[in-house]
Amino acid sequence: LSCVIAVSVIYRQGCSVPSRTPPSIADLIRDNILEYLNDRGASNVPNLYETTIKAVEYPLIDAVLEFCDHNQSQAARILGISRTTLAKKINEYGLIDPFLLED
């Protein structure tokens, strides 16, 4: 509440409230990869490309499926891949529609 009041006072006084643009997905991934490399050192990170692609692909597909209530056609459109490719990835990662598990 005190924050809302402070912003209201600033607004009434004609001052601008600094807006914070959220970081892009690319920026978040880049920052995390740099942190990963710094923590492990270059010699302890074999096959970073494949490891990163796999680490990002699973949660990406999972999140989009959840967002689309597991509508695979809609999810494939959002992801920019064919429905066949999405079905293969769903099978590969074992992503099952939770509604199919209900009795």
Give 45-62 pLDDT, tens digit per residue.
888 899 889 889 999 999
- pLDDT, average across residues 8-35: 75
Residue 72 CA to residue 14 CA, distance in Å, equals 49
96 versus 30: the higher-pLDDT residue is: 30
Give the span between the Cα atoms of 68 and 61, in whole angstroms: 11
Instruction: Determine the number of helices (DSSP H) and then strands (DSSP E) in the chain.
Output: 6, 0
Average pLDDT over residues 14-24: 71
Residue that has been written with the tokens 């598990």 in this structure: 101
- pLDDT tens readout for residues 60-73: 999 999 999 999 99
* 24 phi, psi to nearest 5 deg: -75, 165
Q: What is the DSSP letter of 68?
A: T
User: What phi and psi values does residue 20 have, to the nearest 5 degrees?
Assistant: -110, 115
